[in-house]
Structure 1
Amino acid sequence: MASAGVRSSDTTAQPDSQQRKFYPDDICTLKADPSMVGIVDRTFYDVETHEPLEDSLIVSHVPVPERELMEFLNSGVPPKGYVFVAWSETSQGSSLVSEDDIELVDRSLEIGYLVKRHPKDTLSGTVISTSCKYTLQPVAYRVVDPLTGERGPLRFTTKPPKSSQSENQQPGNDHDGPALLTDVPAEELRDYDDFCEGDYIIYRQKLGIIQQVDRDAVLMLPNNTAVTPLNPYALELPLSLGSKTIVSLPNSNSNESSRSVPSGSGRSDLSVPNDTMFPGQYVRTTLKNLRRGSWISGNPSVDTPAEGYIVATPPVDVHVDWLCSNIFSVGLPFFGPTSEVIRASTLQGHATTYDSGKIPKGNSQQQQVKMRSSFTVGDRVRFRDPAGAAVKYPQFDRIPKEQTFGYDLNVFKIVSVKSEVTVLWQDLSVTTESSTSLHKFSGLENEVWPGELVMLKEEIQTIPNPNRTAFEPLAYTFHPGRNDSILRPKKVGVVQTVNSRERIASVRWYKNPRIELLHEGHVLSPSSVLGELGDEITEVSMYELTTHPGLVKSRGEMVLLVPERVHQSLIPSSSTRPSSTAAGPCLLSYLFPVTFTQTNVYLDHIKSVLVQSDWFKRSVGIDTTPLPPRHSVRREDFSLNHPLDWIGHIISLDVDGTITVRLGALQECRDVRVPLEKILMVLDDDVAAGSGEGPVDDMDEYYDEWDQVDDDDDYHFFDRVATVLSRTVEYEGGAPLDAANDDDDMWMTEEEDDEEVGTTGAPAVSEIELPEHSDSRDEKEGDRALPESAGKDGDKGHKEAPPALRGDRVNSSPPSFAILESPPPSDHHFISTSPTGGAAQRLRRIRKEYQILESSLPQGIFARTWESRMDLLRVVIIGPQGTPYEYAPFVIDLHFNSNFPNNPPDTFFHSWTNGMGRINPNMYEDGKICLSILGTWPPKNPDENWSPTKSTVLQILVSIMGLVLVKDPFYNEAGFEAFASEGDSRVESTQYTEKAFVMTRTFIKRALENPVLDFEDILAWHYLPGPVAEGESARPELLKKAITEARRMIDHYNSTFEKGPGEQIGPASPFVARLSLGAVVMLRKHISALEKILSAAEDSIRS
């Protein structure tokens, strides 16, 4: 077997002229004018960018054929070979350009991004550190007199347009502009302003996201006077585009948005609204806006043109969406509005914006993990240490505030960037690469990387949630059935190395993990503890491994942490036993929509479980400072000076299971290693989109009631909230939340009773003085021996029992369609719907559909309905040969609702993957089927939609068989069809196909061991051996064929090691050229299970 530690030969793949050249957020320059730098906004390949164009300034800086341009303007999708670029200078607009007309400067790769050296490599890696160096251009400068050495008057880098009255009022005759500062590291820079959209902000121990900043603008006019206009948003950017064609202007009427503006006189007077104000911009407005403004220096004059330079953009109001509080603070209220507008003057000096660009001091820069800053070309920045920068960069001329009316104009525009990234590859090698030499990789569902937590699928136990009817903080967000069961993985480990080509991972296992996953794996129980990592390392098939969102953490993610010290009032004085299955760590977006108060209720319940755990008591310091009296001002201020060590971002996932978090909100940031148990919540990327308002919008009326509860400590906050909410919140159907069985102990198993919360210790947080990196590792020589797990029986506890189906009871081929007299099966997904009678016209249409099915069903599709419920239909589709779905049965339930035939029937796919992922991009584990004819996917052609008069159920079924269950299902993924024609993403497609083949072998086992009700005769005839009536064709015996084909593919895998030099060998099957070792491991297990079924079926015939 090829060892996971040896790099495969795929990394030597040569550049392909067909491979994609650009990704969104790539930085590029225009070849015809290298001074024009822009950011790729849309590509042909990235479907998430394919939205209708908003009104914006679009300019043709280089010629584009009219057909391609009009196609783009109509659809918003760049034609193949073109990209849509937003230029760094706002007045230059955006352009559709050919890929051949631009040159790649830098690729934006952040920590945690997945990359490949070449799209056709199987080996992928994770970015674990970045190093960005910027080229900066001052927005203002002063020229040095070569004779006297003195600095001249203030000048601005942006020049007024030729039509401007102030064009000739710039002092001197400087054509060169200011000196550029080059190779400036990202960690030396910060944003030009204290408050910016998208920043995390911490104020009074509350965490929020800045959604908007209202600003003033300070203008310096040509006569050196200064004014703050009455309406800063009435400022406009003058355009100076020469003879270039303006394709569209912002705020145009829809019928004019794609109309070109002719060149000629008057073009130089064009202006566009200035949506983003920056210091150094040259802007225009109206005289009225200036005269009614606030004059800082000078007075209004009729001779003063209504144009000038922005000197400063001081913030006025900050719009914040609050996410949560530091739930371990005391004396501060945990309830309040979710959205708030706060004066910037109130926040300044009292609020902290989270700074992910900070680096701990005193550590070796070569070993330090660096985050890529959010800065890109066109952004305005300042130096963190201006005095130090003036020494390091002689070109930096610090402009005194006296020359800029008291405002700091030492602002720089980023004009270029070059970055290198450090990559941890799946084989555990670490390299540093130029970002432009790498390709972004989206990853596959079952792909894993070193440092990731994984579970062994067959060792996951599903048990009923003993507290499923009790009140829980998620009650106002989720249906209670969402948390009916608990997942208990018995085998949890950390990935060490990965051989992606062979789909094999080396995993180091925890000795005795006590992990419980709630809400179908989305939530981690707060009583969970990983425990001690053992020495056992095994190689397993990647198809044997699984992950769940509640357990997985990623580099770059923002997280909430248990602080290093908490106040003693948070520790319960009496022994209580809060439910450990009601709430737990998860992605915050999983709770959406949720209010600020609701999130705090949720976090407070987690806290009530954690504070009683043994590891918490051992590793968290206790503050015994006496609390000020309740209701005093000093009590509210008690926690304000506590360190902001409860929020950070993950910078490393080590192969020893520890998670390294950087505390970027501290004045002097530092890195700490924390165990999984100390992470309260992950603030994922979807959080920045806004939390919205939760279903319980009327919680304000309870704020006073909570506040009036006279309790001497803060521990019982959740209890008070639960008391109030439980009187008002009900489940669907009217059952109150508190209608639970109080005797929860009756649900406890003997094992649970023995396992008290927190009996297993978690390691304490350890501060990192110097990051440790291993420069060497043991490499194993590759061999073709199977992993240890390959020899284990995949069907533990399988009992030798008579087969559920008997082939000898069916001797002829059942009809493809039938109407049954028996009642419909109880497991039909729509059985609980009320029978829809409806108009005679609708019933006639249903009968017509059935007549079509009876006469026209193609081979491999079988349908059944019932006389008592003609509105229900069940279909079994046997996967077509030559695809990864061959021989596997797929069950789909349909329901003709009251809107049929105006709308297509409801559908539900029975996924038998047990939460292990999709078998097809169009067929979801929750039963959803994505097809344009079903109205679940937007069509490219309107004719693909459901038509009440033309479309039929037969079309739906044939579409599923012919368009979904295909040879290369990977390309069914939204946007991926673009790759199919050119053979790109071939590696991902091959791996996806292999995964689909391996997973669907279990569908055969499932259908034969747990027969699909009312399809027993069909399954027995098509899969099992048995008698054949006279005149009938031979039985298909698909079970035997599936076993034979799987064995043949395994033999093909083995033969690839036996071929001589230059000897060619054909593909393993029409859909897979060669199986991976990981697939062989799983396939052997599946064959063993299927052979038992076949053997039992043959025995039943002989008996």
Structure 2
Amino acid sequence: MANQAMVCCEDTVSLKEDKLKIGVVDRTFGDIDSHEPRPQRDYLTEIVCDDSIPKAKFESFLRSGVPPRDTALVSWQTENNVELIPVDKLEVLDRALYVGDVVKRNQKDAMSGTVVGNKTICSLLPAARSENYEIPPGLDELVTIHNVPSSELLNVHAYNEGALVVYKDWVGKIEDVFDEVAVRLSNNSVVVVEDPEELVLDGPHTSLRASSYERWYVGDIVKTKKYNLRRGKWIYGSFNPNIRPQGIVVQVRTIRVTVRWLARRFGRDPTHSNAWEPPTVLELDELESPEFRIYDASGAVADMLPHQENGAGPSYHVAEVCVGDRVRFKDVVRAAAKYDEPLRLPNNLPQGKLQLIPRTETLGYDMNVYMVAQTHSRVMVQWQDLTVTEESAKLLVPDHNVGDEDEVWPGEIVFTREEHKETEPELQWTNSPAKVGIVQAIKSRDRIATVRWFDSPLIRYFQHDLIPPTRTGELKPETEDVSLYDIQSHTTITRRRGDFVIIHKNPSEDSSNSAHDWFGEVVDLGLDGKLVVRLGASPVVRDVKVSYEDVTLVYSGDDELYPLADGIDGEPVGSSDDGVSGSDEYEEMWIEYEGMDGEPINSGDEHDWSTEEEDGADDDEEDESMPDLEPPESRSRPGSESPTDISSTHIDLNGDHSLSRGPVGASTEPPSVPAGAPPNLPDLNTEKLSPFVVLDTQPPSNHHYLHESPAVQSKILKRIAKEHKILRTSLPPGILVRTWESRLDLIRVLMIGPSDTPYEFAPFMIDLHVGASYPLEPPRAYFHSWTDGMGPVNPNLYEDGKICLSLLGTWHTDEHNESWSPDKSTLLQVLVSIHSLVLVKEPYYNEAGFDIHRGAPETKLNSALYTERAYFRARAFIVYALTHPSVVDPFRQELEYMYLRQWDNSPQLLNKAIAAAKEILVRSETDGDEERDGLRRISRGATVMLKRQVEQLEKLERQTLSY
């Protein structure tokens, strides 16, 4: 028995028990991009729920927008309602896949492929009946026309929002379309209504419209107010107040569009009139001008286009249709002859006859408009190993790892991460890769790419811009196998199928404005280093081959596929009306601290790890001075008050952080390591590793917030003193904190990654600033990334220093994430959250919305790939910290002690890091059935990188044998 196809957004589905009930999937549990809260806002009709789904789960969905696992939200096209329903009650009829989409046969598969071509056949319903102007109430098989290739169809609207257009020397994107709508009333009079927005759908599909006005189609049954008719432009007849203001749309004509202009043609004299940016609003005269063209690849017949280099057949089909679209036949007369008589199809469905509606019955208007009821697609896929297969679209799944920065596909241009050292002083601010090449094939499971390098390329770039002159040149004949982690596809020059580009040199001699042969769409990536670009705005659509450096990206569909989530000031995702926070289980969550060797610290006496709120009288206490870091032979500073003994801290992740005042001790020594700590845990009470110290030196010059104005208000200083009291005695092992007498608002933190995570034994440094608005606003935090441009080490720790954390106000909050509370939140909470909730074993699930997939079989591979990458990148942090001592001030001595000292009681983290990495390499290079988890067993491509890191660590080890 064939496996049930998984359900994805935009799938066309039917009920298993009722094949004629057809709909489109709007939301699924697995598609996090569909999880906008309050889904009811998208529909006029009330969302209903299948009886098998518990009421509590349905109510949660109506708040959060996240369908329960194994359910989907479906808009039924034939029943005109929206329903949350279990996926096992659905049958997938078709899946919307387009050229350039990255797919897999199964989410567990290592290999992905790119859709390079597709063929779609449709089932059509007449959108209007000539006798009574009614839309068919359901799938009436007697009138349904089956097996219609999409290449025979055109969208009923010539101008559509999002369409790309060329006007004079400019490329733009249509933002808004304004139509005039002609309505035929029951007395055969026709009027162009004054305001189309005053029309209301009055047919069977009313309930599916999210608003009273979207875009009107020929065949829509509408109603309006009488004044909207009276003030309209009458084509036939005149206003009659006795005629009901209801009728059928017989014509929709675009009279105006607004365009966002994207780019200008290269090579044109900037003083030429065509080089001036056109107006944002284009009227009918401009739209009908020969200088205006819509990018429309359907202007060519598919079988007249050239075959692709990969042998996939003609370049991808040129008409994309979806269920619910309104279409016309390109040649309705030929279609009428082709679909002339009813018959039985091979699947025993009756084939409806195409019955033309004569214009003589409709006052000359063309009412031969059809609604797409079903689609069935087959796609050509080029896999990463360069094989090409034809597949049923519904049996493939979108690859959710497509955004992976280390994923590449055949035909893409790639750079080595190693750079060429620029010798020209005036160009040393640019980046120049050591090698540039074209991917020939990929061994997905091994994370190895086969690459042909260009012979003498000249590529310089800065951020996202190429710096001219640029040259790729000729490819060398030989190939080389390299780790995927050693190369990158860079936005400066990488192009993918579906990208729209401007060609620098016109491919034809005709340089007139009407040629429009300088703009097109990338439809194929050649293994010879050339792009195939379709000139879809040219009067004769054709494909041309150009070099990567000869095109400039204008627009990519990926730019708008993943909109940003609501800002932190917006409505929290998953928030509820009654303000209920999280589940009881989450409310009771405790953090289990780990030592530097990763063993959990035993609980010991619970009172050692819980605190209560300090009483209000403490607010009036004078600020206490803080002990500083002194050499062993130095004495404590005179006048130091004994700190309050706060044994430990219990962190409540819902914001309840309180302190329990213990007896005032007579010693300034910090408290001992909690009972039950592993014997080989470094003694954090020693002066070498004091968890918290106030230094009498100046802050380091590389502190990110050094030049911020210091906080001098007494109220803030008192709050800082309280924070210091907590940090002084409550820091868990693995976190060291330093501040300065001269700048108590500045803090620097050193964290050692927890064991049994990809961050084990690695140091991470963070700068904090307590500003003038503290504690009303959270502290500002900056992460020092030492990956040298290799990419982020964690989804929440950006290379630019940003730390995504709800406590810091840089991450959206929901029922599982706390926000900053001026009364309850503390700096300690921030540090423990980073250490315990960010530096985790499976960082892949830290990505926004990914946590709901934790443990799901289909995400294990992607998680393992992220983990192995984080592991070897974190090894680079060890190397960097130990070879750049001035950067890590004031932790130079602490790092030397933890990593380099060979004393019996020293942590010797460098030795442990080397041993752990070697163990991973041995296990990964040994054949076995053990599943790769990215932490204890990694891919071949990752071993290449880890071996390189081990060599650098061993070099450091040899240099420090004298310690």
Shared fold (TM-score, shorter chain, > 0.5): yes
Q: CA deviation at 1:448?
A: 1.6
Counterpart for residue 305 of structure 1:
244
Q: 1:416 aligns with which of 355, 369, 374?
A: 374
Q: CA deviation at 1:512?
A: 1.0
Q: 1:654 aligns with which of 526, 532, 539?
A: 526
Counterpart for residue 882 of structure 1:
756
Counterpart for residue 775 of structure 2:
901
Q: CA deviation at 1:997?
A: 0.6
Which AA in structure 1 matches 2:159?
Answer: F
SS where residue 473 of structure 2 aligns?
Answer: coil
Q: CA deviation at 1:298?
A: 3.0
Which AA in structure 2 matches 1:937?
Answer: W
Q: 1:1055 aligns with which of 926, 930, 952?
A: 926
Q: CA deviation at 1:411?
A: 1.6
1:956 is the counterpart of 2:830: yes
Q: CA deviation at 1:1027?
A: 4.2
Q: 2:555 aligns with which of 677, 683, 688?
A: 683
Whole-angstrom distance in 2 between the partners of 1:239 and 1:413: 14
Q: State the identity as a percent.
A: 38
Whole-angstrom distance in 2 between the partners of 1:15 and 1:869: 67
Contact 1:819–1:867, Cα closer than 8 Å, also in 2: yes
Cα deviation per residue 1:1005-1063 (whole Å; 9 max; x = unaligned)?
Answer: 111111212111111111013346xxxxx11101111111111111112332xx6xxxx
Q: 2:73 aligns with which of 79, 84, 88?
A: 84
SS where residue 493 of structure 1 aligns?
Answer: strand
Which AA in structure 2 matches 1:1094?
Answer: E
Counterpart for residue 802 of structure 2:
928
Q: 1:857 aligns with which of 703, 712, 731?
A: 731
Q: CA deviation at 1:56?
A: 2.4
Counterpart for residue 872 of structure 2:
998
Q: Point out the more displaced range, 841-850 or 876-885.
A: 841-850
1:1094 is the counterpart of 2:957: yes
Whole-angstrom distance in 1 between the partners of 2:305 and 2:196: 44
Q: CA deviation at 1:555?
A: 0.7
Counterpart for residue 901 of structure 2:
1025
1:70 and 1:441, CA in 2 relative to 1: closer, same or farther beyond 3 A? same
1:502 is the counterpart of 2:446: yes
Q: CA deviation at 1:991?
A: 0.9
Task: Map 1:331-350 onto structure 2 (within 5 A).
Answer: 331-336=272-277, 339-343=280-284, 346-347=287-288
1:241 and 1:1085, CA in 2 relative to 1: closer, same or farther beyond 3 A? closer
1:446 is the counterpart of 2:406: yes
Counterpart for residue 550 of structure 1:
492
Cα deviation per residue 1:259-297 (whole Å; 9 max; x = unaligned)?
Answer: xxxxxxxxxxxxxx2422111111222333333333322
Q: CA deviation at 1:834?
A: 2.5
Whole-angstrom distance in 2 between the partners of 1:77 and 1:86: 16
Counterpart for residue 162 of structure 2:
198
Q: 1:323 aligns with which of 250, 255, 262?
A: 262
1:286 is the counterpart of 2:232: no
Which AA in structure 2 matches 1:1050?
Answer: L
Q: CA deviation at 1:234?
A: 1.7
Task: Map 1:123-202 onto structure 2 (within 5 A).
Answer: 123-140=111-128, 154=131, 156=133, 158=135, 179-202=143-166
Counterpart for residue 314 of structure 2:
368
Q: CA deviation at 1:155?
A: 5.1
Q: 2:437 aligns with which of 480, 490, 493?
A: 493
Counterpart for residue 706 of structure 1:
none
1:355 is the counterpart of 2:313: no
Whole-angstrom distance in 1 between the partners of 2:233 and 2:279: 34
Whole-angstrom distance in 1 between the partners of 2:14 and 2:510: 56
Cα deviation per residue 1:349-377 (whole Å; 9 max; x = unaligned)?
Answer: 65211113344663478710114744211
Q: CA deviation at 1:32?
A: 5.1
1:820 is the counterpart of 2:695: yes
Task: Map 1:678-1077 onto structure 2 (within 5 A).
Answer: 678-685=550-557, 813-837=688-712, 839-941=713-815, 944-1011=818-885, 1012-1027=888-903, 1034-1056=905-927, 1072-1077=935-940
Counterpart for residue 10 of structure 2:
25
Whole-angstrom distance in 1 between the partners of 2:231 and 2:461: 62
Counterpart for residue 455 of structure 1:
415
Q: CA deviation at 1:870?
A: 1.3
Counterpart for residue 360 of structure 2:
402
Cα deviation per residue 1:684-706 (whole Å; 9 max; x = unaligned)?
Answer: 23667999xxxxxxxxxxxxxxx
Whole-angstrom distance in 1 between the partners of 2:113 and 2:921: 29
Which AA in structure 1 matches 2:782?
Answer: F
1:250 and 1:687, CA in 2 relative to 1: closer, same or farther beyond 3 A? closer
Counterpart for residue 1081 of structure 1:
944
Structure 2: 5+ residue runs without aligned partners? 341-352, 564-681
Which AA in structure 2 matches 1:47?
Answer: I
Counterpart for residue 63 of structure 2:
74
Whole-angstrom distance in 1 between the partners of 2:64 and 2:444: 38
Contact 1:198–1:688, Cα closer than 8 Å, also in 2: no
Which AA in structure 1 matches 2:410?
Answer: P
Contact 2:221–2:246, Cα closer than 8 Å, also in 1: yes
Q: 2:193 aligns with which of 190, 206, 229?
A: 229
Contact 1:132–1:372, Cα closer than 8 Å, also in 2: no
Whole-angstrom distance in 2 between the partners of 1:312 and 1:622: 37
Task: Map 1:263-274 onto structure 2 (within 5 A).
Answer: 273-274=212-213
SS where residue 479 of structure 2 aligns?
Answer: strand
Contact 2:50–2:83, Cα closer than 8 Å, also in 1: no
TM-score by length of 2: 0.80
In the alignment of these two chains, the number of paired residues is 816
SS where residue 459 of structure 1 aligns?
Answer: coil
Structure 1: 5+ residue runs without aligned partners? 1-13, 142-152, 162-174, 252-272, 468-483, 566-619, 624-638, 692-806, 1029-1033
Q: 2:44 aligns with which of 46, 57, 82?
A: 57
Contact 1:132–1:419, Cα closer than 8 Å, also in 2: yes
Cα deviation per residue 1:764-786 (whole Å; 9 max; x = unaligned)?
Answer: xxxxxxxxxxxxxxxxxxxxxxx
1:1073 and 1:134, CA in 2 relative to 1: closer, same or farther beyond 3 A? farther
SS where residue 23 of structure 2 aligns?
Answer: strand
Cα deviation per residue 1:186-224 (whole Å; 9 max; x = unaligned)?
Answer: 222222122122111222333221222221222222333
Whole-angstrom distance in 2 between the partners of 1:367 and 1:1001: 47
Which AA in structure 1 matches 2:394?
Answer: T
Contact 1:455–1:492, Cα closer than 8 Å, also in 2: yes
Whole-angstrom distance in 2 between the partners of 1:465 and 1:280: 68
1:341 and 1:411, CA in 2 relative to 1: closer, same or farther beyond 3 A? same
Which AA in structure 2 matches 1:836?
Answer: A
Counterpart for residue 513 of structure 1:
457
SS where residue 829 of structure 2 aligns?
Answer: helix
Which AA in structure 2 matches 1:290?
Answer: L
SS where residue 912 of structure 1 aligns?
Answer: coil
Q: CA deviation at 1:45?
A: 2.7
Q: CA deviation at 1:934?
A: 0.8
Q: CA deviation at 1:67?
A: 3.0
Whole-angstrom distance in 2 between the partners of 1:464 and 1:525: 14
Contact 2:135–2:203, Cα closer than 8 Å, also in 1: no
Cα deviation per residue 1:121-154 (whole Å; 9 max; x = unaligned)?
Answer: 111111111111111222245xxxxxxxxxxx64
Cα deviation per residue 1:28-71 (whole Å; 9 max; x = unaligned)?
Answer: 22445544433222222333222233252234566345433332
Q: CA deviation at 1:458?
A: 2.2
Contact 2:405–2:489, Cα closer than 8 Å, also in 1: no
1:93 and 1:235, CA in 2 relative to 1: closer, same or farther beyond 3 A? farther
TM-score by length of 1: 0.70
Contact 1:658–1:674, Cα closer than 8 Å, also in 2: yes
SS where residue 267 of structure 2 aligns?
Answer: coil
Whole-angstrom distance in 1 between the partners of 2:879 and 2:253: 67
Whole-angstrom distance in 2 between the partners of 1:689 and 1:434: 24
